[in-house]
Amino acid sequence: METDEKTSARTSYHHGDLRAQLLEATRQLVEEKGPDRFSVSEACRRAGVSTAAPYKHFKDKEEMLHHIALAGMERQRQQMLEELSLCSAGTLDRVVAMGRVYIRFARAEPGVFRLMFGLSEDHADHCDMVQLGDDTFTVVQSEVAKCHGRDTIIESDVNEAFLLWSFVHGLSFLLIDGKLKDAKVPFDLETTLREVAERVVGTEISGG
Amino acid sequence: METDEKTSARTSYHHGDLRAQLLEATRQLVEEKGPDRFSVSEACRRAGVSTAAPYKHFKDKEEMLHHIALAGMERQRQQMLEELSLCSAGTLDRVVAMGRVYIRFARAEPGVFRLMFGLSEDHADHCDMVQLGDDTFTVVQSEVAKCHGRDTIIESDVNEAFLLWSFVHGLSFLLIDGKLKDAKVPFDLETTLREVAERVVGTEISGG
DNA sequence: TCTTGCATGTTAGCATCTCTAACATATGTT
DNA sequence: AACATATGTTAGAGATGCTAACATGCAAGA
């Protein structure tokens, strides 16, 4: 007499798992249609509830998208940490791995990736996103420091990490925007990542 | 008996300059509220016409935004060419200048910049934007080639130009997204640009 | 067990938005 | 002057975000 299958229509008045299912529908729609074309109504349709239901769980549309963006950042971070665990400590492999995962995530989930960054600039308002972003950036800095045989991060590590981040971030956007036709830039991603990492981490760039 | 001032309410039935004024209102709103929060209605209010008026000039909202994005690309390109004209030929200064203008534009018009890139990926559908983007990218490649003393672009120039573009593009986004607190990355932009350009253009990076 | 409170659904409805249809007005051509 | 065309208007359909008021089911204590 409880709820039916999660996939089909429910039998009871209450849903049982609406919050999670709304978030999943939101994530899917952001991916399918892009963050700007997402609508709460359609997520409701997909979850099989009325259009007023979400507002028992979320303040507004923005909060729903915020959850998706934050979850995306956590997923990306987690994938980085997994990949890191496969590389031996203090090697450039680890820096390359983080870049590879960053770009892989952007290509695998361009909608969510765009949501994490490209959209409105009020991300800075949400301290949880800022915090998580900072944490991940700190990991990069730490890896850079370890490449230099240090355990504490100094300013040059921050600068190098930031150069790497900028590059990888920009490349991610150019790739998912389709600005880089394969014909136009016939590069090998892994090779490029490694060479950039070598140039940046291998050489001191004062930067201010 | 003709139209009144452009700034105030009009006296005649017809507007006289609606298309241009709608585009200007659109540009302003994209800048003020962000591309995702722009509404045609508000542009109409600002231009002092009914909400049906724009559809005599544009197919739909998307076409209006498309014009703004394209105009932004042209503006950015123009600024690059101006800055280029101040540098002597074949120098790294020219490459640095293009990057500087790229980032300056992103910071000066973050709304339009986001519209040019961050939004939906259907930019690839509009061949005029693709064409203009390619043209500008070709200029970068050409400048890189000239730094190497060549007049024709070879594959390594394409790769180097693409590395520079990725970096500058990513940095632009990180800056306008507020991901880089000044406290977090205390770098000097000009110095950084130059050092990156030196590292990239100065050194052969095969990349594929 | 009853009942009462709270969480979580529903329907109804308002305000806003995009876009179209039908109509109105100015302009320029013949 | 008559007419075609360009460009404005109002009216309204359909979608959306969100709220208010109501309904339903679960859970905990009298």
Residue B120 lies in a domain: yes
Look at residue B57 and give its three-state secondary structure.
Answer: coil
pLDDT of residue B13: 66
pLDDT of residue A178: 83
Q: For residues B42 and A112, what is the distance between their CA atoms, to the nearest angstrom?
A: 28
Q: Which two tokens stand for residue B16?
A: 């006289």
Statement to judge: residues B107 and B187 lie in one domain: yes
B159 part of contact set with chain A, CB < 8 Å: yes
Asked if A169 and B173 touch (Cβ cutoff 8 Å), the reply is yes
Statement to judge: residues A35 and A132 lie in one domain: no
Statement to judge: residues B113 and B169 lie in one domain: yes
pLDDT confidence bin for A1, thresholds 50/70/90: very low
Residue B61 lies in a domain: no
Q: For residues B160 and B203, what is the distance between their CA atoms, to the nearest angstrom?
A: 9
Statement to judge: residues A46 and A116 lie in one domain: no
Residue A8 lies in a domain: no
Q: Do A166 and B174 touch (CB under 8 A)?
A: yes
Q: For residues A36 and A59, what is the distance between their CA atoms, to the nearest angstrom?
A: 18
CA angle B163, A81, A78 (to 5 degrees): 95
More confident residue, B114 or A180: B114
* CATH number assigned to the domain comprising residue B140: 1.10.357.10
Statement to judge: residues B50 and B71 lie in one domain: no
Chain B residues touching residue A195 (CB < 8 angstroms): 205-207
pLDDT of residue B121: 63
pLDDT confidence bin for B2, thresholds 50/70/90: very low
Chain B residues touching residue A129 (CB < 8 angstroms): none
Statement to judge: residues A145 and A179 lie in one domain: yes
Read off the pLDDT of residues A171-184 as tens digits, 9 standing for 90 and up: 999 999 888 776 67
Question: B203: how many CB neighbours lie within 10 A of its CB?
Answer: 12
* CATH number assigned to the domain comprising residue B22: 1.10.10
Closest approach of A5 to chain B, Cα-based (Å): 35
Contacts of B80 (CB under 8 A, 6+ apart): B97, B98, B101, B102, B136, B139
Q: Mean per-residue pLDDT for B70-93?
A: 96
Statement to judge: residues B48 and B76 lie in one domain: no
pLDDT confidence bin for A186, thresholds 50/70/90: low
Q: Which of B137, B179, B196 sits opposite A163 (nearest CB)?
A: B196
Q: Sign of the CA dihedral B79, B85, B86, B91? A: positive
pLDDT of residue A2: 34
Report CA-CA distances (Å) from B167 to A49, A169, B3, B91. 45, 8, 49, 20
Q: What is the mean pLDDT of chain A?
A: 89
Statement to judge: residues A86 and A189 lie in one domain: yes
Residue A81 lies in a domain: yes
Statement to judge: residues B42 and B125 lie in one domain: no
**Domains: count for chain A:** 2
The answer to whether residue B127 scores a pLDDT higher than 80 is yes
pLDDT confidence bin for A76, thresholds 50/70/90: very high
pLDDT of residue A106: 97
Q: Do A196 and B203 touch (CB under 8 A)?
A: no
- Nearest C-alpha neighbor of B17 from the set B29, B34, B5, B27: B5
Statement to judge: residues A168 and A195 lie in one domain: yes
Statement to judge: residues A117 and A195 lie in one domain: yes
Read off the pLDDT of residues B17-37 as tens digits, 9 standing for 90 and up: 999 999 999 999 999 999 999
Residue B151 lies in a domain: yes
Q: Do A184 and B118 touch (CB under 8 A)?
A: no
Statement to judge: residues A186 and A112 lie in one domain: yes
Domain membership of residue B23 as a residue range = 18-56
Q: Which of B121, B137, B191 sits opposite A176 (nearest CB)?
A: B121
Asked if B14 and B56 touch (Cβ cutoff 8 Å), the reply is no
| Of the residues A6, A32, A56, the one at which a domain ends | A56
- Nearest C-alpha neighbor of A30 from the set A109, A102, A105, A103: A109
Residue B9 lies in a domain: no
